[in-house]
Structure 1
Amino acid sequence: MYNCCVVVGIEFGTTHSGFGYAHTANKDVHVNCDWPDCSGKFKVPTVLSYDDEYKNVRSWGYEALAEKPIRKVKIKSPIRKPVELFKLLLGKMKNEPPLTHEKAISDYLHGLGSVVKKEIYVDLHEDVLIILTVPDNYKISIWTMRECAFKAGLLNDRYSQNLKVITESEATALFCMENLKTHNISVGEKFIVVECGDDKVNLTTRMLLIDEILSVILEKAEDNCGGSFVYQEFLKFIEHKIGSSAINLFSKRHKPQLQYLQSVFEREFLIPFTGDQSKFTISSLDLEEYCSDLMQYCKGKYRDNMIKNEWVIELKLDDVKAMLDPIIEKIIQLIYSQLNLCNNDCFALIFVGKFANSGYLQLRIKETFCRRVQHIFHIPQNEVPIIKGAVQYGLDLTYDNTNISYKQFQILSTTIKKLEEENNDLTNKYNEKANQHQIIVENLKTEIKEIEEKHSENIQHLENQINDINQQYQNKIKLQEQRESQMQNKLPEEIQASNNDFNKYKSLYDNLQKKYDDLTNKYNEETNQHQIITENFKIEIKGIEDKYLKYIQKLENENKDIIQHQNKNKLQEQEIDQLQQSLKLKEIQLQSLEKEKKELDAENDYLYQRNTNLINQLESTSFEDELSNYRLEDVAQNYGMELNNDISKLNDNLKKYITNLKQDVIVNVEEIRKLLLLYKCPVKITNQKDDLLLIQAVLQRHIIETIFSYATKYFQSTGQHYHLESDIINQASLLSTLLTDASKYRTGNDGIMHIASTKLRKQIYSILNNCGFSDIHGKSKTTYEHPFITFYKEKLSKTMNELRTIKDQEKITVENLAATIIREVIKIFWFRLKIHESVVQYVWIPYNAKVNETFMKGENIDDNDNENLYVDLCYFPLIGRDLTSDNHEVYVPAKVFVRKTNDKFNNIK
């Protein structure tokens, strides 16, 4: 809940921007329409005009635009240099100016902020909550936008809580839900928001959860079918009349006239067009009137035709439909897909955006979906839904809407049960389709197997017949050969007779051979035919398999959707369980508080007398007396005075432990690059010699962070004699909590309670700072090193040896420092910072923060060169008190490795 007088919603758009505001007292949203050099319009162009060096802003908004085209008058070139599209990182400009997008955004927000300050009449830094809208997939980080807002004067410091960010789609949805209230929408109803932008059409299916203040996104879809595509079709129509070269040259050299032509097309042709033949009259576009410079680029037959028609182009009903129908069909298909995903259970279709004002689009949508959706309406462009939705978001933040009533909890449970029933229906349908598919597949397998068996039997029968015939002919040939052998032994007279018989048998053999060849050919033909049949079956089977694989894939996709739906239901169930547990916990706490109240009333008199005695005792005695002659209070004060000296000593030891990285020390450059990325520093290093200072800095940061991880793990463990330091801190924390409870639930002097708790903390941490992690006395009066120091000094040295390699003699000297450094780091950051009156904080400065000499010190830049410096890496944290407030106190500035502004892009990969 935010305590403020006014909520300001700022739509920082790509081409146009605007703002609205509302007082929290009456909640009436007012959208500004009074701008420098223009009034009566809700938005101002997102344009800047700079001087020749791009350092100083000459003008912004309408004043920065090039001269508007005047009818029948040739447009002159603009004097100023306009800068646009800096919201898109200046990425779409052909001649990109020497300007960073952060500077352009800061300069533009500064101009916009000056109008905001004049309009709201309250302190912008103290009494205003600013809501800034950004696209859903914006490339610039929230921190960068916050930095730009600070430089623009919208915030009093970078960490101010008076700035919140919301996406454009969420702001639009909030505004749409306000409109749905008038249509009596109920909890659990689904509605689709159709954002018709210039480039894309985004569809978001949402479900209302609780009292018109909370909705969840069920599905999203988008396509490139915005209003700019209709305008492209319009340019193609003109190109058909005057030629492509004329349009191309005109687009490059006369952009203001082209923009003016687009506005004329939207105002006079696109928005009024409804597609009704009875209301349509042929429209005429006079090129000489609207874009006179276009005429000079029209050549040849195109010029002759245009002169004949007096430079007038006629647009008929079918011409305009041909421009709109392809785009509208895409939008309709998107809506169909969303309705199918939500099972046609949709309460309303809401259209927003410039293209949504098209009468023809509205008519086509209503004709197509009037029977499937209860309510279809569009939000007019002059309602500026993003701005008003942002203001509404800020107003919701100023009131505590986080507690959900039991009635609302029941409504949410009913909605989730409804979703579960829908999910079960989808699951049953999927199982039925899967069973049907399985039956079809089994039948096909059976048929294929029968066909294969039948053909296999035929082939085997043919092969057996051929083998029998071959065997018969072979036997006859052998018999003939035997007879020929016998005949050679007879008389020559018988040889002649035998020859005759041989010729007879030879003729018979030839006939048999011919029959054999015929059978073989027949067999080959049947084999080929069988092969063809087999291949056809394989093709048919493959087609059937492909068909059912696609069907299976479709079912699997449906199953994935069901699983995603189930996951959403599980998430909602977890949230419900958490709410139920929270309610039970509150009931238990309430019962406990009632019981304690009774006990407190009964003990009031006794505690009053006891506190009186305690006051007298504290006035006459002190903790110093109880600790004999050892004055821990004075020691704590001395520790605060010596903090800088101890940190300086720690830095000296770190430098010795890292070494100067020269001589025989070899650095693992690849691992150093990984460390830089680990600490979010995208600076490129090339070699050990040129980047020596940065390598030393990141090694020091890594040593400190590694020791932090060792200490964190240690203080999470208790119970052993070498966990004595951890046990002391845990018991001190428990005792501090008990003292706080005593001051909360017992009457008495709260000042004494606070003083006792503070002294207890300071004295405990003074003791730990004096003897924590020191050597341990053994049972046999021997002394040995603390096991924590022994274990982790070896682990730290092993880690560092993987990052840099040094020779043996120097290695022994350096590794002896590991125990000292671990002990010093833990004592400073775990014990020393808690000895002060107020607990001291430490902060790592993030990458790309601007150098502030109050908070940081850069050692790689000369003292006289301290302008426009930015942080590459922080290698020792900032130490101080109340660092985010105006009453901050810096004890030790952060040590940072810095760079100049003009070196930024040269050092980054």
Structure 2
Amino acid sequence: MAEKNTYYQGSHKPKQHRGIKIHTYDHYDWKLFMWFGSLKKIENLIHLFIIVWDAIPIESDTDLSIEFNEETSKMVEIIEELNTLGAVDDLNFSKFIDDYRNHRYNNPNLKKRLLRIAWESLENSGLNLDPRNVSEQLDVCTNQQKLSLRQMIFSRMKSFNILATQMSKVYEISKSKSLLKENENLKNQILSLKKENSQQQAALGNITNVSWNHDDPNNASKLISDIEELQDLLSDFTMVQGGDYKINDMTSGNLIKEYKCQVEYPSTKGRVVLGAVLQRYVITTILKEVELYFKNTSSYEDRGIDMTLECDLVNATERLISYTEKFRDNRKGDDELTKITPGRIRQQSYSTLGCRGFSDDEHPLIKGTVEKLLNELDKFRQVVDKETNDELHDQAIKITRNVINIFSFRLKTQAFELKHQFFEAGHDVDVRLMQGSFGRDDSKRMEVEVCSFPCIGVFNGDDRSKQSVFTKAQIITRPKRSNSGNQ
């Protein structure tokens, strides 16, 4: 009997099925076959490959284990060839295969997480069938049928390889013709950027004199990396897809409507949107709690200075910045030091807060916010898997501290003070400020369904020339309606 798929486990009874046979016909089998044939993206085939292998018990079968290792190595080789040809621009796919192979034997929990990613990818790519049924269908297939399915996947991957090889040859021919012109354009762009950079440095009074070392946590590259890590943490924390979660469709549907999303709910796409809405809900909930804390620190004073130290430091910093700005503007002189002093105070003080602020798990702000987050999420979904549920409290602490650390402190450590901006449902898609599953050509026909993570940058009204994007907003899109205007 095939191993039960570890991602879509639940209390349902598996349907009685003896496998897909040539002389039998089942409408669901046909829909599943049509869906397999409709997969158009390389990453879809990679994720399907993982899911098929997960339905095969290899741990106690030496021959199957050898076959598994050989096929995963073969898949990694194909991915790397496609990367060389430019058809795949992300070697993380080969790492994904390697990680699954290692975790299959050594770490069931991490293997389960990779399967979750694979299922979500297929759902987001148009899997209109119930994933539980797909999982059951794979479980009851014979090993020979699963082998045929994997052979189909390899055949499709090789087709991509052949097409990429042909396109690469055409590209090399056209590339040689345009190389001289492109080189000249790049030279002109470099000269223009140098001129623009010089003008900005002069206009800003050389405020960028304060720079961070490469290994400093406030280095721009490190900050971007930590923002991306926070996005991953939020995605895991707000998970609503799969058998580990029981969704309250009424409260979840109301929350989706509150954010003016138009997706049909409940539905597969509706759950994807719900997860994104919950990510935004978590961020805004934490930031509201921080705002309340800074406004009402007097209620903590009887507990000692330790409970209000971060707030005291923020208030003192803002007062000192205000005084040095007034001093700069109202006292004559042409020295550079006075010009950059307010910025240096801001960067250094908030850097200190970013390193050690609210580091105690028992601080009332951290403790109270974590409790509120868990209670709020319970209104929309319950975690039925005990192991997953046990991890939620630690995840909530880490996310709470990271949101405060980044949004309240570290965005103020850069040469230009960074702000964050969410985009509401119905807003036009702007590829300069947003990213998601859409192409540049598609963006003109799309609008925002939900913004799960804000855009971070320097915003000065609607003047695009004065906008600078640090990290783009994470959005899910929807087609524009013919009667909708620009937001």
Q: TM-score, normalised by structure 2?
A: 0.51
Which of 218, 236, 245 is residue 656 of structure 1 equivalent to?
A: 236
Q: Secondary structure of 2:295's partner?
A: coil
- The residue that corresponds to 2:331 in the other structure is 746
Offset of residue 746 of structure 1: 3.0
Structure 1 residue 874 displacement after superposition = 1.2
Find the partner of 2:222 among 642, 661, 672: 642
2:251 maps to 671
Give 1:637 shift.
Answer: 8.1
Q: Distance in 1 between matches of 2:221 and 2:480?
A: 37
Distance 1:738 1:653 in 2: 39
CA distance in 2, matches of 1:693, 1:665: 13
Of structures 1 and 2, the larger Rg is shown by 1
Deviations 1:324-375 (A, max 9, x none): xxxxxxxxxxxxxxxxxxxxxxxxxxxxxxxxxxxxxxxxxxxxxxxxxxxx
Select 1:827's aligned residue among 401, 405, 428: 405
Q: Residues 437-461 of structure 1, C-alpha deviation per residue, up to 9 Å, x if partnerless?
A: xxxxxxxxxxxxxxxxxxxxxxxxx
Between the aligned partners of 1:652 and 1:669, the Cα distance in structure 2 is 24
Whether the 8 Å CA contact 1:789–1:819 is kept in 2: the answer is yes
Aligned mates of 2:250, 2:232 — CA distance in 1: 26
Secondary structure at the aligned position of 1:691 is classed as helix
- Whole-Å separation in 2 of the counterparts to 1:708 and 1:745: 35
Which one of the candidate residues 712, 717, 723 is aligned to 2:291? 712
Structure 1's 664 and 903: CA in aligned 2 closer, same or farther, altered over 3 A?
farther
Give the AA of the match of 2:470: Y
User: 1:619-630 maps to which residues of 2 (within 5 A)?
Assistant: none
Distance 1:759 1:675 in 2: 42
Map 1:496-535; keep pairs closer than 5 Å: none
Q: Distance in 2 between matches of 1:893 and 1:902?
A: 25
Pair 1:858-2:443 in alignment: no
Secondary structure of the residue aligned to 1:851 is coil
Q: 1:763 to 1:632 in 2, by over 3 A?
A: farther
Q: Unmatched 5+ residue regions in structure 1?
A: 1-622, 625-630, 776-783
Task: Find the counterpart in structure 1 of residue 374 from structure 2.
Answer: 797
For residues 713 and 890 of structure 1, do their structure 2 counterparts lie closer, same or farther at Cα, with a shift above 3 Å needed?
same
> What is the identity, as a one-letter code, of the residue corresponding to 1:639?
N
**Offset from partner CA, 1:206-254 (integer Å, 9 cap, x none):** xxxxxxxxxxxxxxxxxxxxxxxxxxxxxxxxxxxxxxxxxxxxxxxxx
Q: Residue type of the partner of 1:809?
A: E
Give CA deviations for 1:59-87 in whole Å, capped at 9, x if unaligned.
Answer: xxxxxxxxxxxxxxxxxxxxxxxxxxxxx
Whole-Å separation in 2 of the counterparts to 1:688 and 1:708: 30
User: In the TM superposition, what whole-angstrom CA distance separates every residue of 1:156-201 from its partner, at most 9, and x where no partner exists?
Assistant: xxxxxxxxxxxxxxxxxxxxxxxxxxxxxxxxxxxxxxxxxxxxxx
**1:839 Cα deviation after fit:** 0.7
Deviations 1:844-882 (A, max 9, x none): 1122122121111123x4787444111121111111113
Higher helix share: 2
Return the structure number with greater relative CO, CA threshold 8 A, min gap 6. Answer: 2
Q: Which has the higher strand share?
A: 1
Secondary structure, in 3 states, of the residue corresponding to 1:741? helix
C-alpha change, 1:865 and 1:743, in structure 2 (3 Å) is closer
Residue 698 (structure 1) aligned with residue 277 (structure 2) = yes
Distance in 1 (alpha carbons) for counterparts of 2:427 and 2:338: 41
What is the match of residue 307 of structure 2? 722
- Asked if structure 1 preserves the Cα contact closer than 8 Å seen for 2:263 and 2:273, the reply is no
Q: Deviations over 1:614-635 (max 9, x none)?
A: xxxxxxxxx99xxxxxx96766
761 and 667 in structure 1: CA distance in 2 versus 1, 3 angstrom threshold: same
The CA deviation at 1:789 is 1.3
Specify the alignment match of 2:452 in structure 1: 875
Cα distance between partner residues in 2 of 1:741 and 1:902: 50
1:741/1:896 Cα in 2 relative to 1: closer, same or farther (>3 Å)?
Answer: same
Q: 1:816 aligns with which of 379, 390, 394?
A: 394
Secondary structure of 1:848's counterpart equals coil
1:70-113 Cα distance to aligned partner (Å, 9 max, x none): xxxxxxxxxxxxxxxxxxxxxxxxxxxxxxxxxxxxxxxxxxxx
* 1:762 shift after superposition: 0.4
**In the TM superposition, what whole-angstrom CA distance separates every residue of 1:421-479 from its partner, at most 9, and x where no partner exists?**
xxxxxxxxxxxxxxxxxxxxxxxxxxxxxxxxxxxxxxxxxxxxxxxxxxxxxxxxxxx
SS in 1 for 2:432: coil
AA at the equivalent of 2:310: E
Q: Deviations over 1:637-662 (max 9, x none)?
A: 85322222111100111111112421
Cα distance in 1, alignment partners of residues 323 and 353 from structure 2: 21
Q: CA, structure 1 residues 746+862, in 2 after alignment: closer, same or farther (shift >3 Å)?
A: closer
Query: 1:847, 1:743 → 2: CA distance?
Result: 43
Show the 5 A alignment for 1:100-179: none
TM-fit CA distance, 1:728:
0.4
Residue of structure 2 in register with 1:844 after alignment: 422
2:130 counterpart residue number: none
Report the CA distance between 1:690 and its aligned residue: 4.3
AA partner of residue 710 (structure 1): E
Letter paired with 1:740: E
Secondary structure, counterpart of 2:428 in structure 1? coil
Letter in 1 for 2:478: R
Partner amino acid, structure 1, of 2:309: L
Tell me the percent identity: 27
Question: Any idea what the Cα deviations from partners look like across 1:356-399, whole Å, max 9, x if unmatched?
Answer: xxxxxxxxxxxxxxxxxxxxxxxxxxxxxxxxxxxxxxxxxxxx
Which of 861, 876, 889 aligns to 2:468? It is 889
Shift of 1:636: 6.1
TM-fit CA distance, 1:890: 1.0
SS of aligned partner of 1:838: coil
Q: Tell me how far apart the structure 2 counterparts of residues 862 and 812 of structure 1 sit (CA, whole Å).
A: 39
d(CA) in 1 for partners of 2:387, 2:483: 41
Distance 1:659 1:642 in 2: 26
Distance 1:721 1:688, change over 3 A: farther
Counterpart among 309, 319, 324 of residue 734 in structure 1: 319
Q: Residues of 1 paired with 2:263 and 2:236: CA distance?
A: 25
- Written as runs of structure 1 = structure 2, the 5 A alignment for 1:417-566 is none
1:256-275 alignment to 2 at 5 Å? none
Aligned with 1:715: secondary structure? Answer: helix
Deviates more, 1:878-887 or 1:732-741: 878-887
* CA contact 1:688–1:695 (8 Å) conserved in 2: no
Match of residue 149 from structure 1: none
Contact persistence 1:650–1:821 (CA under 8 A): yes
Mapped partners of 1:633, 1:739: distance in 2: 26
User: Could you say if the C-alpha distance between residues 866 and 882 of structure 1 is closer, same or farther in structure 2, counting changes exceeding 3 Å?
Assistant: closer
Structure 2: state its 5+ residue gaps: 1-208
Structure 1 Cα separation of the partners of residues 315 and 215 of structure 2: 23
Distance 1:764 1:894, change over 3 A: same
C-alpha spacing 1:768/1:669, structure 2 compared with 1 (3 Å):
same
Once the two structures are superposed, the pairs formed by residues 85-104 of structure 1 within 5 Å of their partners are none
Query: What letter is aligned with 1:675?
Result: L
